[in-house]
Structure 1
Amino acid sequence: MTRRIQVVQLLVSPAHRLAGRPADGLPPARDRDLVTRAEVRAGLGLVGDRYFGQKAHRNASVTLMAQENLPVGIDPAVDLSGTRRNVLLRGVDIDSLVGSVVSIDCGSGPVTFALNRPARPCAWMEVTVGPGAQRALRGKGGVRCTPLSDGVLEVGDAVLQELGSAPV
């Protein structure tokens, strides 16, 4: 199945922003983590991101999330800065596609991802988004992915194509 979608936001964060415990409070925001263009490398992730090339995150180096699932009732301004996901999409229930391979083409060629497992919201969501966010995002906190091809993602209109089942 092929559908027109939008890449709403991209987050490429070179450092872990959330250290310690949620009760310790939130460190200052880093607006420069939100970008309009991100380079993707097969098996490695987003160039410049904290999970790029990290062996422990090989099958979860990129996280896709649906804008429709953001808990705007808790915080109307919630975005990737609060959820700490990498790619915010509009027009696709990405959480329902776990176990699939998809491609996203922003106009410069498709980038393929294996959608491996749900991204479970953590206790930090209560601080970064607001009280109740962790519960609100259960089952719709995004999908941890492995990039299967090199390419570029850009904010704007895109085409998503389901290509079949993810490799086991």
Structure 2
Amino acid sequence: MTKVEVVQLLVSPAHRFAGRPADGPSAGSADELRHRAEVRADLGLVGDRYFGQRVHRDAAVTIMAVEHLPFDINPSIGLLQTRRNILLRGVDVDSLIGSTITLDCGAGPVTFTLNRPARPCAWMDVTIGPGAQRALRGKGGVRSTPLTDGVLAVGEATFRVVAEPHAGQ
């Protein structure tokens, strides 16, 4: 078990990165950053744009490590710019693809399967700054599936790998 910090949580009902990056993102609501988020098994974060979407079943929640953010490009970067859902401090989630993990913010563990990389796109150069897409290659976060219901909250948490990746992943 590892002590981590949930730095930010983003639950966004709108898909703001549509169209061409040169046109800029669409406006979002003021309450996208949350102190608390409800998680539902196989569905995602309640209220999020990917909640219950079949096409995003293996990518309903995206988890990212704050240590990988390019603060040299933009010192105020966070989830509003990257559009990931959970920003953690203290664990390299990108190195754990294929694992099953739990994240416990005090209300009981929530289990996720870490399925695949969240590859940074050209939007990163627009929302963060020039060079961000390249800086985030290989460390843009992990797309995951929640396996249990639960509640996440900003603040201290425990992180545990409960199953290592299978051979070949």
The answer, yes or no, to whether TM exceeds 0.5 is yes
Q: CA deviation at 1:8?
A: 0.3
8 Å contact from structure 1 (residues 115, 166) kept in 2: no
Provide the secondary structure at the position in 2 that maps to 1:160: strand
Q: Which residue is equivalent to 1:118?
A: 117
Deviation per CA, 1:13-51, whole angstroms, max 9, x where unpaired?
A: 001112210011233454310000000000000000000
Q: Which residue is equivalent to 1:32?
A: 31
Q: Which residue is equivalent to 1:50?
A: 49
Q: Which residue is equivalent to 2:139?
A: 140
Stretches of 4+ aligned residues off by more than 4 angstroms: none
What CA distance in whole angstroms lies between the structure 2 residues aligned with 1:113 and 1:139?
A: 20
8 Å contact from structure 2 (residues 39, 150) kept in 1: yes
Q: CA deviation at 1:166?
A: 5.7
What CA distance in whole angstroms lies between the structure 1 residues aligned with 2:17 and 2:54?
A: 20
Provide the secondary structure at the position in 2 that maps to 1:32: coil
Deviation per CA, 1:35-76, whole angstroms, max 9, x where unpaired?
A: 000000000000000000000000000000000001101000
**Aligned pairs, how many?**
167
What CA distance in whole angstroms lies between the structure 2 residues aligned with 1:110 and 1:150?
A: 9
8 Å contact from structure 2 (residues 39, 45) kept in 1: yes
What CA distance in whole angstroms lies between the structure 2 residues aligned with 1:114 and 1:26?
A: 29
What CA distance in whole angstroms lies between the structure 2 residues aligned with 1:154 and 1:166?
A: 26
What CA distance in whole angstroms lies between the structure 2 residues aligned with 1:166 and 1:57?
A: 21
What CA distance in whole angstroms lies between the structure 2 residues aligned with 1:31 and 1:166?
A: 38
What CA distance in whole angstroms lies between the structure 1 residues aligned with 2:93 and 2:126?
A: 24
Q: Is 1:14 matched with 2:13?
A: yes
Using structure 2 for the length normalisation, give the TM-score: 0.95
Q: Is 1:127 matched with 2:95?
A: no
Q: Which residue is equivalent to 1:85?
A: 84
Gaps of 5+ in 1: none
AA partner of residue 157 (structure 1): E
8 Å contact from structure 2 (residues 96, 165) kept in 1: no
State the identity as a percent: 66
Q: Which residue is equivalent to 2:71?
A: 72
AA partner of residue 7 (structure 1): V
